[in-house]
Amino acid sequence: MRVIGNAELVQTLTAPIALELAAIAAKLGGCAGRYFRPERQFHPVNPHGAKFGVMPLVLHDPALLGLKIINIFPANAAVGKPTHVGVYQLYSGETGEPFAMMDANLLTGIRTAAMTAYATHHIAPELTDQIAIIGTGDQAAWHVRTLGALFHPKELFVAGRSLAAARRLVDLVADELPDVQFHACSTEEAVKRASVICTVTSSAEPVVDRAWLSHRTHINAIGAHSADCAELDPEIFEGADCHTDDPDTFPTHCAEYLRLRASGKSGPKRILGIWEPRASPSHATEITVYKSFGTAVQDIVFAAYAAGLRVTVE
């Protein structure tokens, strides 16, 4: 079994390669006959919100088994450690023998940002001159790097719980993207000035208000993936076109959707799989949303490539 180190993983999964893999993963997500995906499980570890998570996948063609063990420890942020830690394991689906193991947090960071880039390119490629990243953790940093490298925005706004944290993230990545004009600012300012917004936070309550959106905007909602966490004002979903990597999970785990329906509203205009054709905006103030849940299908496509294997979709 190969142990793929972090340096090799980063060198292998460059932004352009990751975008190609994201396109494959998006299309594979719509091919239910190609895989068996048991429900992910998260088990409580302590009273401070820590969870032990397991995400398995059986891929039929090629025959591969994937297992992500991801531990979520929110208190790690206070001591400067990642809140998501774990390992990803790849096995042969023919013999059960282990192929490779790699850092799950790094794999997740790269593939999630790449899936966001793919969704943005698929749904709103005309809007990428001004991009906002709401969040300042590891996942936010990968979004800045990946979207900055792939779209070369004129302006990139970074916001978080504090202006100091936003400035630290800008200082971390600015040298990697010398042609991008960075702004560390408040969430409200970032949302009002950007046309592509990525929420990459651990917040349980909305950080983006519907009233801040007055023009054609695309939102990538990344951080919340359970029924008890919502990053967006539920009103944002009312009448919007919503694309997602997991349409089966959306009605039961998208907190914004559940809160909107509980208030008696009708909800999104359409809910589409990310592999389906984009719905063209019908007016200049229309909102589109990509709601990410992060699937085991995506993990196995990226992990297989890192291990020297290739998953394809016709």
DSSP alpha helices (H): ranges in the chain? Answer: 6-12, 15-29, 104-123, 138-151, 163-173, 187-193, 250-253, 255-262, 296-306
- Of all residues in the chain, the percent with pLDDT exceeding 90 is 85
Least Cα distance to 143 among 173, 123, 179, 98 occurs for: 173
Judge whether residue 285 has pLDDT over 80. no
Q: Where in the chain is CATH 3.40.50.720?
A: 125-291
Q: Return the CATH fold of 125-291.
A: Rossmann fold (3.40.50)
What architecture is domain 2-107+296-306? 2-Layer Sandwich (3.30)
Rg of the chain, C-alpha, whole Å: 19
Per-residue pLDDT at 204 = 85
Q: What share of the chain is helix, strand, coil (3-state, %, to 5)?
A: 40, 25, 35
pTM above 0.85, yes or no: yes
- Domain ranges in the chain with CATH number 3.30.1780.10: 2-107+296-306
Q: Is the pLDDT of residue 25 over 90?
A: yes
pLDDT of 281 > 80? The answer is: no
Given pLDDT bands bounded at 50, 70 and 90, which one contains residue 278? confident
Q: What is the pLDDT of residue 196?
A: 98
The mean pLDDT of the chain is 94
pLDDT band at residue 282 using 50, 70 and 90 as cut-offs: low
Amino acid at 292: S
How far is 9 from 61, CA to CA, in rounded Å? 23
